[in-house]
Amino acid sequence: MAGALIVPAITMTGCSSLQPTQATAIGSGAFATGHYRNLFAENGHSQKEIRAKVDSAFQQLFHGDPATQAVYYSAGANSNGQLAYITDIKHNDVRTEGLSYGMMIAVQLDKKSEFDALWNWSKTYLYHDSPTHPSYGFFSWQAKTNGEVMSEFVAPDGESYYVMALFFAANRWGNGGGIYNYQEQADQLLTNLRHRALIQGPISSLRRNINSTSIVTAGPLFSEEHKMVLFSPSSERPQFTDPSYHLPAFYELWARWGSAADKDFWMEAATNSRDFFTRTANPVTGLAPDYAHFDGTPADTAWNKGAVNFRFDAFRTAGNWSVDWSWWAKDPRELELSDKLQAFFESQGMETYGCQFTLDGKPLDGRHAQGLVAVNAVASLAATNPRSKQFVEALWNIPTPDGIERYYEGLLYMMALLHCSGEFQIWNPSTAASR
């Protein structure tokens, strides 16, 4: 697989001779055609300008001033090589969300040293290898920058991005040994997402410098009944989901690249997530809640009363359905969702809209967040109204995030640049057609 190119599973010419059932199976998006829209180029920006913008943002966020710009930090080395983490500057911690996003950015930009260092840090400090631990086979979602675990719970969004980034790394660079056998690591983690056995035991967490331990029973990160990603597999919390964790674009690839026995499950998960998007997003504004029940209705929780609203997690949801459309083009309802969402934000003022709302559009926070501007531009991948160009240009015009908000805002911004420049792509294995 070393040096594999991004090659469409079936070319456009091939698509013309497919039987209808085959065409439906692969969709008509980038997976089938090999074409990824460059929204910046469509807006008139030159490839030289686009290249400079992407490279500059990566340099700032990964190797810029550590005090004001960077979120990526080197952390020495161990027997597996270099270590590095990505930190949430505002909260002074490290999260699987950021580590896995950083790995995805690195593999898309052919930055193998950064990828490996982030993966090494994840495996060294966060991975649970004890078969008796409720998080066995998964990663603690939160730690201090010195590697001390703050919460042994699992956050399924990080695990999902780990799996996808590892598959892409195997396909782009080939596999090494140990933890750098990317394919083996991806296969094992993907199997656990669905099949990890229920394990009861103690889970530790650190809050306000006070350690606490709870006895929980936890298992896989996806609901077998609903075929949807869970917010948490812990028995301590009622089972529900997070709309921004739904990644049908990834599930389609897992159905093809994972175990043949799980193919139908991941294909159904993709279909169910597409249906779920239309149920959980407000029919007028297109806004989704932070947390939701499996039927799409907002989920309130004792520890996060605002989760019924459009808040920071929910920034990502429109990006997820829009990338799904870009890669697969299987559900035209995603086009309607992007148009509704962008119409709402346009009505709030393109340069002034806030970042938190009730689902029917009542403003809750007036900050014009760079991360939301970024994801709203990604929504243009699935938008049909000409207003979508405004959202792309809004992303082009904002600077790379720095300062206290640069972790979440910066990673969303960096991934949005890749999506909108056509550089966030599917790295296919050379054996994709036979798996």
How confident is the model over 197-234, as pLDDT tens digits?
Answer: 999 999 998 876 778 899 999 999 999 999 999 999 98
Mean pLDDT calculated for residue range 419-424: 98
Residue 344: what residue type?
F
Separation CA 123–CA 327 (nearest Å): 30
The DSSP output letter for 118 is H
Cβ atoms within 10 Å, residue 25: 15
CA pair distance 306, 255, nearest whole angstrom: 34
Percent of the chain with pLDDT over 90: 89
How does pLDDT run across 155-184, given as a tens digit for each residue?
Answer: 999 999 999 999 999 999 999 999 999 999
Average pLDDT over residues 305-333: 97
**pLDDT at position 303, please?**
79
Query: Under 8 Å CB-to-CB from 236, ≥6 apart: which residues?
Result: 203, 214, 216
Which of 313, 331, 339, 402 is catalytic? The answer is 313
Torsions phi, psi for 110 (to 5 deg): 60, 45
User: What pLDDT sits at residue 302?
Assistant: 81
313 in catalytic set: yes
The 10s digit of each residue's pLDDT in 96-145 is: 999 999 999 999 999 999 999 999 999 999 999 999 999 999 999 999 99
**Tokens describing residue 207:** 């809050």
What residues does 280 pair with on adjacent strands? none
Radius of gyration of the chain (CA): 20
Residue with tokens 């998960």: 269
pLDDT classification of 238: cutoffs 50, 70, 90 = confident
Query: Which residue among the candidates 97, 159, 331, 402 is catalytic per the annotation?
Result: 97
User: How much is the pLDDT for 268?
Assistant: 98
Whole-number percent of the chain with pLDDT over 70:
93
pLDDT band at 18 (very low <50, low <70, confident <90, very high): very low
Residue scoring higher pLDDT (433 or 182): 182
CA-to-CA distance for 301 and 237, rounded, in angstroms? 9
Look at 212-216, 335-339, 430-434 and tell me which has the smallest mean pLDDT.
430-434
Q: Where in the chain is the domain with CATH 1.50.10.10?
A: 29-65+240-435, 71-222
20 vs 402 pLDDT, higher one = 402
Which of the 8 DSSP states describes residue 400?
P
Q: Tell me, which fold does domain 71-222 have in CATH?
A: Glycosyltransferase (1.50.10)
CATH 1.50.10.10 fits 29-65+240-435, yes or no: yes
Give me the pLDDT at residue 167, please.
98
Residue 357 contacts residue 363 (beta carbons within 8 Å): yes
**Is 264 among the catalytic positions?**
no
